[in-house]
Amino acid sequence: MRTFVMGDIHGAYKAFVQCLERSGFNPQTDQLIQLGDIVDGYPQVYEVMEHLLSIPDKILIKGNHDDWLERYMATGIHPSSWSHGGEATMISYLQHAGKPNQIIRTFSGFKNNMTPTDIPQTHKKLLASQHLYYKDASGRLFVHGGFNRKLRLTDQHPTDFFWDRNLLSTALEIKSALGEDTPPEDFYEQSDISAVFIGHTPTTHLGRRLATDTPVQALNILDLDTGAGHHGRLTVLELTADPGGSELSRYPYWQSDPVGTLYDRSYR
């Protein structure tokens, strides 16, 4: 069995399939860890959900966009007014519900004729199965955004796991000052963390000096959100059985084509 970890998908089903094919992922024998933000961005959320459902061995991490959709399903009100990529999620579910894609832009976001009942129960259960974080036997931690490094994982506020960006920004600052990727001994309150895999912060948005569409390492933190929700790429990385350290070079990875080239962005 091989184990793979994948960054933020954001409804980019074509990129999702490319990554699985290029990595040689076998859904019958391999495990997939997905770092959250399945939804919002590109208009094939439904197809991504269906494909994930077909993979028996998977560990799904909750992203902030996934949380938004769950809150909409529970209340009928979207907390971000669909205005952060949610238009594409609506397009996907309206299409499969057999409803016309009548979406009206308003000052506060979007109006549409989609209801929570248009989302299949299987998709709702899939989102409900997501974890706030997952830590494997090697001490590798998988989380969408980050966490408060001065608190133990069990003491975190739940939303910090899918909203935090301070963990990565602090690590980038320390790396710049030290010129190396070995974290200080007291960097984490919880000392058994050997490596951290995150999404949430697109590497394409790290500023002119650091921006890239490939994974970024800062200390022992590996950012796998390589901009699939924008014009970047989707990334899937294989976890070796014996990591022997957290260096990115130890982990082979594969990427999709730039997602902006796979879709017509006229719906935006």
The answer to whether 98 and 46 are in contact (CB under 8 A) is no
Q: One-letter amino acid identity for 105?
A: R
Domains by residue range for the chain, with CATH: 3-267 (3.60.21.10)
Q: What is the pLDDT of residue 210?
A: 84
Strands of 164-229, DSSP E: 195-198, 216-218, 221-223
Task: Quote the pTM value.
Answer: 0.94
Cα gap 191→160, rounded to integer Å: 19
Residues 6+ apart with CB under 8 A from 62: 36, 127, 130, 131, 132, 144, 161, 162
Reported as a single tens digit per residue, the pLDDT across 175-222 is 988 887 888 888 999 989 999 999 999 999 988 788 899 999 999 999
Q: One-letter amino acid identity for 52?
A: L
Q: What is the pLDDT of residue 264?
A: 79
Cα gap 195→141, rounded to integer Å: 6
Closest Cα to residue 164, out of 227, 83, 221? 221
Reported as a single tens digit per residue, the pLDDT across 121-177 is 999 999 999 999 999 999 999 999 999 999 999 999 999 999 999 999 999 999 988
Cα gap 12→21, rounded to integer Å: 15
**Cα distances (Å, whole numbers) of residue 251 to 5, 38, 59, 184, 246:** 10, 23, 19, 22, 9
Element (H, E) at 20: helix 13-23
Closest Cα to residue 224, out of 211, 215, 213, 232? 215
Confidence of residue 90 (pLDDT cuts 50, 70, 90): very high
Burial category of 101 from C-beta neighbours within 10 Å (exposed 0-12, middle 13-18, buried 19 and up) = middle
Strands of the chain, DSSP E: 3-6, 31-34, 58-60, 104-106, 109-111, 133-135, 140-143, 195-198, 216-218, 221-223, 235-239, 253-255
Q: What is the pLDDT of residue 266?
A: 54
Q: What is the pLDDT of residue 110?
A: 86
Q: What is the pLDDT of residue 100?
A: 77
Give the residue-averaged pLDDT of 26-36.
97
DSSP 72-119: HHHHS--TTTTTTTHHHHHHHHHHHTT-----EEETTEEE-S--GGGS
Q: Does residue 246 register a pLDDT over 80?
A: no
Cα gap 217→126, rounded to integer Å: 30
The answer to whether 8 and 236 are in contact (CB under 8 A) is no
The answer to whether 199 and 225 are in contact (CB under 8 A) is yes
Q: Does residue 268 register a pLDDT over 50?
A: no
Reported as a single tens digit per residue, the pLDDT across 38-73 is 999 999 999 999 999 999 999 999 999 999 999 999
Q: Does residue 243 register a pLDDT over 70?
A: no
